[in-house]
């Protein structure tokens, strides 16, 4: 089975070719244009998708060394995401499936972040059901109980900002360029995580909140700058390490509670923030500390990519879950 997968939910135009659960090609065109605005501009995103989609799909086919006539089905991201961006991918997928007379498969982007763990990769073990998925990205922060490929339930999520936003907004306060998450990670590796203490939010149950942390950091920095205008420059590593440490503690507290409530000790992480080295190290340590088994996917499958859309497409192909071309994109969808 050869699946062409297309992802265009936000600001990356991506296409991948899978042969069953193996990735033959995984192409992403990043839209750097948004960096100068400090965030994704929806109108610009859909225009850039429009420009990128044909060359990106072409490149995916070429790299996989596959003719489009060999494709078994086309999978695309139905949502959640920016409507204008989603429409470019879905319209393209619909037309191509129609032209080639092959099945069309709609994929939930958040489900794809979870199921990315089922892509066949050497040296990467797949989780076994049931497991807990922690999806941490620029737009989402969720703990999901995964009982089967398409049986999953969100048991905790953010009530305001996503973890990625917490990283990016903190970085902005420090005067770092967007997206600041990877920079905080970089400086944090050189700093003392206990140098500064930020209060953690008190949110009941498995839900998260990050907007209070951002405000706490803002006030802290403003106050320190009055005493010493070079405070940020002189303490950047320690500030970043302390921010990252606080965010990781917030995540770990909820994960521990989720493990306690569900009795499930397998944790699979996904989403762009799972690239964070502090989070990766902390989870590895949790294996010895708490007897957890943790799964961290290959980096290219954690940020937005089409391979993860393809693996869901492959599962749906096996289940024969196909759509007609009247299927609609959805800015918001639950599982
Ligand atoms: P969604 O997947 O919810 O639609 P998105 O596309 O914005 O959101 P991703 O591309 O999965 O999200 O992740 C991007 C986010 O990950 C950004 O907020 C970025 O700062 C953050 N990020 C990436 N690398 C790191 C890192 N090493 N440490 C911390 N944050 C990181
Ligand atoms: Fe995503």
Instruction: Return the SS3 of 177.
Output: coil
The number of C-alpha atoms within 13 Å of 167 and in the hemisphere containing its C-beta is: 33
Alpha carbon of 40 to ligand 1 centroid (Å): 12
pLDDT for the residue numbered 40: 85
**What pLDDT sits at residue 335?**
76
What does the alpha-carbon distance between residue 291 and residue 300 come to, in Å, rounded to a whole number? 27
How far is the C-alpha of 271 from the C-alpha of 288, rounded, in Å?
24
Q: What is the pLDDT of residue 105?
A: 98
Q: Could you list which residues have their CB under 5 Å from ion ligand 2?
A: 137, 304
- For ligand 1, the distance from its centroid to the CA atom of residue 66, given in whole angstroms, is 31
Give the global pTM.
0.93
Name, in order, each residue with C-beta under 8 angstroms of 204's C-beta and a sequence gap of 6 or more: none
Taking residue 292's Cβ as centre, other Cβ atoms within 10 Å add up to: 19
Is residue 78 within a helix (H) or strand (E), and if so which, with residue range?
strand 73-79
Residue 256 is predicted with a pLDDT of: 98
- Cβ-Cβ contacts under 8 Å for 162 (sequence gap 6 or more): 136, 137, 138, 139, 140, 141, 210
Least distant ligand from the CA of 277: 1
What is the token pair recorded at 169? 């907004």
Assess contact for 259 and 132: CB atoms under 8 A.
Answer: yes
Task: Convert 149-169 to b/e letters by CB count within 10 Å (16 or more is b).
Answer: beebebbbebebbbbbbbbbb
185 annotated binding-site participant: yes
Q: Encoding tokens for residue 68?
A: 């489009």
CB-based contact 175:223 (threshold 8 Å) = no
Q: What is the Å distance from ligand 1's center to 8 Cα?
A: 15
The pLDDT assigned to 36 comes to: 83
Question: Hey, whose CA ends up nearest to atom 1 of ligand 1?
Answer: 139
Do 209 and 246 form a contact (C-beta atoms < 8 A)?
Answer: no
What is the pLDDT, as a whole number, of residue 147? 98
Contact predicate 31/13, CB 8 Å: yes
Ligand 1 interacting residues, C-beta cut-off 6 A? 9-10, 137-140, 164, 167-168, 179, 181-182, 185, 271-273, 275-276, 303-304
Q: Are strands 131-136 and 104-108 parallel, antiparallel or unpaired?
A: unpaired
User: What confidence score (pLDDT) does residue 178 get?
Assistant: 87
Ligand showing the shortest atom-to-Cα distance for residue 300: 1
Q: What is the distance in A from the centroid of ligand 2 to the CA of 55?
A: 21
Q: Is the CB of residue 21 less than 8 Å from the CB of residue 119?
A: yes
Residue 245 neighbours by CB under 8 Å, 6+ apart:
188, 193, 194, 278
Q: ω into residue 179 within 30 of 0, thus cis?
A: yes
> CA–CA separation, 116 vs 82, rounded Å?
21
Residue 148 known to bind ligand: no
As for the ipTM of the complex, it is 0.98
Q: Which residues pair with 7 in a beta bridge?
A: 14
Number of H helices, E strands in the chain: 9, 10
Write the burial class of residue 224 (CB in 10 Å: 0-12 exposed, 13-18 middle, 19+ buried): middle
Q: What is the pLDDT of residue 145?
A: 98
Give SS3 for 156.
Answer: strand
Pairing of strands 266-270, 131-136: parallel
CA-to-CA distance for 9 and 76, rounded, in angstroms? 10
Residue of 181, 297, 332 with the most ligand 1 atoms within 8 Å of its CB, for mutation? 181
Ligand 1, atom 3, residue with closest C-alpha: 139
Reported residue count of the chain is: 335
Question: Across the 335 residues of the chain, what is the mean pLDDT of every consecutive 10-residue run?
Answer: 97 96 96 82 93 98 98 98 97 98 97 96 96 94 97 97 97 94 98 97 96 96 96 98 98 98 97 94 96 94 95 98 96 87
DSSP assignment, residue 158? B
**Ligand 1 centre distance from Cα of residue 213 (Å):** 18
223, two tokens: 């106050």
pLDDT at residue 22, rounded to an integer? 98
């Amino acid at each position: 089975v050869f699946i062409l997968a297309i992802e265009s939910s936000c600001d990356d135009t991506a296409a991948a070719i899978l042969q069953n659960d193996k990735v033959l090609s995984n192409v992403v065109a990043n839209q750097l244009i948004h960096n100068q605005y400090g965030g994704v501009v929806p109108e610009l995103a859909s225009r850039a998708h429009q420009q990128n989609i044909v060359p990106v799909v072409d490149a995916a086919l070429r790299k996989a060394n596959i003719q489009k006539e060999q494709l078994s089905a086309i999978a695309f991201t139905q949502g959640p995401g920016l409507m204008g961006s989603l429409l470019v991918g879905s319209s393209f997928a619909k037309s191509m499936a129609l032209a080639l007379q092959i099945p069309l498969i709609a994929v939930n982007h958040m489900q794809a972040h979870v199921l990315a763990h089922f892509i066949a990769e050497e040296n990467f073990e797949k989780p076994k059901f049931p497991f807990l998925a922690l999806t941490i990205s620029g737009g989402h922060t969720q703990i999901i109980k995964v009982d089967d490929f398409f049986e999953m339930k969100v048991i905790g999520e953010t009530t305001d900002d996503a973890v990625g936003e917490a990283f990016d907004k903190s970085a902005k306060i420090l005067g770092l360029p967007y997206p600041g998450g990877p920079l905080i990670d970089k400086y944090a590796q050189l700093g003392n995580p206990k140098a500064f203490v930020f209060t953690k939010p008190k949110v009941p149950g498995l839900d998260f909140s990050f907007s209070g942390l951002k405000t706490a950091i803002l006030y802290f920095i403003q106050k320190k700058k009055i005493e010493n205008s070079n405070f940020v420059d002189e303490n950047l590593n320690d500030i970043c390490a302390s921010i990252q440490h606080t965010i990781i503690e917030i995540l770990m507290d909820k994960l521990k509670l989720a493990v306690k409530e569900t009795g499930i000790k397998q944790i699979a992480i996904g989403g762009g923030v799972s690239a964070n080295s502090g989070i990766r190290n902390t989870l590895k340590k949790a294996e010895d500390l708490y007897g957890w088994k943790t799964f961290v996917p290959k980096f290219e499958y954690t940020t937005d990519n089409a391979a993860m859309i393809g693996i869901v497409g492959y599962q749906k192909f096996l289940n024969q879950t196909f759509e007609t071309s009247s299927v609609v994109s959805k800015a918001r969808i639950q599982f």
